[in-house]
Amino acid sequence: MSYKKNAILALLSLTAALSGSVQALDGSLLGMDYNISGFIRAEMAVKTVDEENPYNQRGNLFNGVAVERRGALPQTNLPLLPQPTINDTAVRNGIPADNDFNFTQVRMENTIQLRFNSNWSSTIKLRGIFDAAAYEEFDPEDVNSEAVGYLYGEPNYFEYDDFETGGVQNRLEWAGEDYMIDIPTAYIDYQDGPLLIRAGNQQIAWGQALFFRVMDVANGLDLRRHLILDFASEEYADERISSPAIRASYQIGVWELDTFVQMFQPTIYPNPNTPYNVIASQFTIRDTYDSVDEELNSGFRLKGSIGDVGLQFMYTNRINPDGVFRWTKSNVNRDAELVPGSGSTLAETPLEVDTTGVWSADEWFTYAAMARLDGIEGLNTLIREFPESQTLLAEEVDSMEEARRELDFFFQASGSGFRGHIAREYFREDIFGTGFSYVFQGEPGSWTDQLILNFEVTYTPDRVFTNTNLSREYIVEDEIISALVLEKYQRFSRSFPATYFVFQWMHRTESDLFGRHLSGMGGDINNTPDGVDGWDGLVLALQQPFPGLVWRADFSMLYDTRGGLLVQPALKWKPSGDWNIEMFYTYLDGSLGDNPNENIIETIEWAEEFGMRVAYQF
Amino acid sequence: MRIRKYDHNFSRRAFLEKTALGVAGAGLLSPLWSSIARGADMSKVYPDELTSIEMYTKGKIKAGDIITANNVEHVKELLDPVAYHQVKTMGRRIHIVEPVKDVSSLYPAEFLEATLRNKGKAVLGKDNNVYTADGKPWVGGVPFPEPKNGIEAAYNLTLSWGRHDYSQYAVRDWDIDPDGDLSYQYDFVWCELNTTARTNGDIWKGKDDLLRYQSVFFTAPNDSAGTSFLSIWDYDQSKFPDLHGYIPAFRRVRQFPTNQRFEPLVPGITLFLSDAWAAGDPLLTWGNYKIIGRQPMLGVIGPRNFHGGYHDNWEKPVHGGPKDQTFFDTYMEMVPECLVVEAEPVGYPRSPVGKKRIWIDVRNQMYVAYNTYDRRGEIWKSFEPHYALQSNDKMTRKDGAHPAWSWSSVHSHDLQSNRMSRFVQAKSVVGGYQSHYDGTKEDVYNKYLTVQAMQRLGG
Q: Interhelix angle for A400-414 vs A361-370, to 10°?
A: 120
Q: Is residue B103 part of a domain?
A: no
In this complex, the residue of B430, B443, B451 whose CB is nearest that of residue A26 is: B430
Q: Is residue B266 part of a domain?
A: yes
Query: In this model, does residue B147 exceed pLDDT 80?
Result: yes
For chain A, what is the radius of gyration of the CA atoms? 26
Residues making up chain B, counted from first to last: 459
**CA torsion sign, A151 to A152 to A154 to A157?**
positive
Q: What is the 3-state secondary structure (H, E, C) of chain B?
A: CCCCCCCCCHHHHHHHHHHHHCCCCCCCCCCHHHHHHHCCCHHHCCCHHHHCHHHHCCCCCCCCCEECCCCHHHHHHHCCHHHHHHHHHHCCCEEECCCCCCHHHHCCHHHHHHHHHCCCCEEECCCCCEEECCCCECCCCCCCCCCCCHHHHHHHHHCCCCCCCEEEEEEEEEEECCCCCEEEEEEEEEEEEECCCCCCCCCHHHCCCEEEEEEEEEEECCCCCCCEEEEEEECCCCCCCEEEEEEHHHCEEEEECCCCCCCECCCCCCCEHHHHHHCCCCHHHCEEEEEEEEEEEEECCCHHHCCECCECCCCCCEECCCCCCCEECEEEEEEEEEEEEEEECCCCCCCCEEEEEEEEECCCCEEEEEEEEECCCCEEEEEEEEEEECECCCCECEECCEECEEEEEEEEEECCCCEEEEEEEECEECCCEECECCCCCCCHHHHHCCHHHHHHHHC
Report how many domains make up chain B. Answer: 1
Residue A356 near residue A366, CB atoms below 8 Å = no
E strands present in A52-119: 66-71, 86-91, 101-115
State the DSSP code for A221.
B
Query: In this model, does residue A144 exceed pLDDT 60?
Result: yes
Q: Is residue B230 part of a domain?
A: yes
Separation between Cα atoms, residue A300 and residue A309, nearest integer Å: 20
Inter-chain residue contact B456 with A189, CB threshold 8 Å = yes
Q: Is residue B400 part of a domain?
A: yes
What's the pLDDT band for B7 if we cut at 50, 70, 90?
Answer: low
At A516-542, the pLDDT tens digits run 999 999 999 999 999 999 999 999 999
Q: Is residue B109 part of a domain?
A: no
- Name every chain A residue with its beta carbon within 8 A of the beta carbon of B217: none
Q: What is the distance in angstroms between the Cα of B419 and the nearest Cα belonging to chain A?
A: 9
In chain A, % of residues over pLDDT 90: 87
End-to-end CA distance of chain A: 33
Q: Write the CATH number for B407.
A: 2.50.20.10
Q: Is residue B453 part of a domain?
A: yes
Inter-chain residue contact B374 with A548, CB threshold 8 Å = no
In this complex, the residue of A38, A249, A576 whose CB is nearest that of residue B184 is: A576
Chain B nearest-CA residue for A211: B250
Strands B419-426 and B405-414: antiparallel
B223 contact A CB<8A: yes
Inter-chain residue contact A206 with B252, CB threshold 8 Å = yes
- Name every chain A residue with its beta carbon within 8 A of the beta carbon of B260: 489, 491, 497-498
Q: What is the mean pLDDT of residues B425-447?
A: 93
Show the domains of chain A with their CATH numbers. Answer: 2-55+98-323+426-617 (2.40.160.10), 57-96+327-424 (no CATH)
Supply the pLDDT for residue B37: 80
Separation between Cα atoms, residue B366 and residue B163, nearest integer Å: 10
Q: What is the mean pLDDT of residues A279-291?
A: 97
**Torsion angle of C-alpha atoms A90, A94, A100, A105, degrees rounded to 10:** -140
Q: Which of B173, B229, B232, B254 to mutate to test the interface with A (most CBs of A within 10 A)?
A: B254
In this complex, the residue of B249, B255, B351 whose CB is nearest that of residue A235 is: B249
Q: Which is more confidently placed, B43 or A59?
A: A59
Separation between Cα atoms, residue B5 and residue B1, nearest integer Å: 12
Q: Is residue B326 part of a domain?
A: yes
In this complex, the residue of A39, A439, A492 whose CB is nearest that of residue B223 is: A39
Inter-chain residue contact B260 with A189, CB threshold 8 Å = no
At B224-276, the pLDDT tens digits run 999 999 999 999 999 999 999 998 888 888 888 887 788 888 899 999 999 99
End-to-end CA distance of chain B: 62
B221 contact A CB<8A: yes
Q: Is residue B201 part of a domain?
A: no
Q: What is the mean pLDDT of residues A462-484?
A: 98
What's the pLDDT band for B96 if we cut at 50, 70, 90?
Answer: very high
Residue A355 Rama label (left phi>0; alpha psi -120 to 50; beta):
alpha
Least confident range of A109-113, B20-24, B62-66, B304-308: B20-24
φ and ψ at B137, to 5 degrees?
-60, 160
**∠ Cα A453 A459 A464 (to 5°):** 135
Total-model pTM: 0.91
Q: What's the mean per-residue pLDDT of chain B?
A: 93
Supply the pLDDT for residue A74: 74
State the DSSP code for A366.
H
Supply the pLDDT for residue B1: 44
Q: In B, residues 100-129, which contact A (CB 8 Å cutoff)?
A: none
Query: In this model, does residue B105 exceed pLDDT 50?
Result: yes
Q: In B, residues 281-300, which contact A (CB 8 Å cutoff)?
A: 285
Supply the pLDDT for residue B260: 78
Chain B nearest-CA residue for A574: B267
Q: What is the distance in angstroms between the Cα of B384 and the nearest Cα belonging to chain A?
A: 19
What's the pLDDT band for B8 if we cut at 50, 70, 90?
Answer: low
Q: What is the mean pLDDT of residues B289-303?
A: 97
Burial class (CB in 10 A: 0-12, 13-18, 19+), A528: buried
Q: What is the distance in angstroms between the Cα of A545 and the nearest Cα belonging to chain B?
A: 9
What's the pLDDT band for A47 if we cut at 50, 70, 90?
Answer: very high
At A240-274, the pLDDT tens digits run 999 999 999 999 988 999 999 999 999 999 999 99
Which residue range is the domain that position B342 belongs to?
A: 166-192+211-458
Q: What is the distance in angstroms between the Cα of A118 and the nearest Cα belonging to chain B?
A: 7
Give me the interface pTM, i.e. the ipTM. Answer: 0.85
In chain B, % of residues over pLDDT 70: 98
Inter-chain residue contact B432 with A115, CB threshold 8 Å = yes
- Name every chain A residue with its beta carbon within 8 A of the beta carbon of B374: 494
Q: What is the mean pLDDT of residues B103-119?
A: 96
Q: How far is CA A86 from CA A28, A361, A525, in A?
A: 80, 13, 20
Inter-chain residue contact A24 with B221, CB threshold 8 Å = yes
Supply the pLDDT for residue A1: 44
What's the pLDDT band for A491 if we cut at 50, 70, 90?
Answer: confident
Supply the pLDDT for residue B238: 96
Separation between Cα atoms, residue B240 and residue B263, nearest integer Å: 16
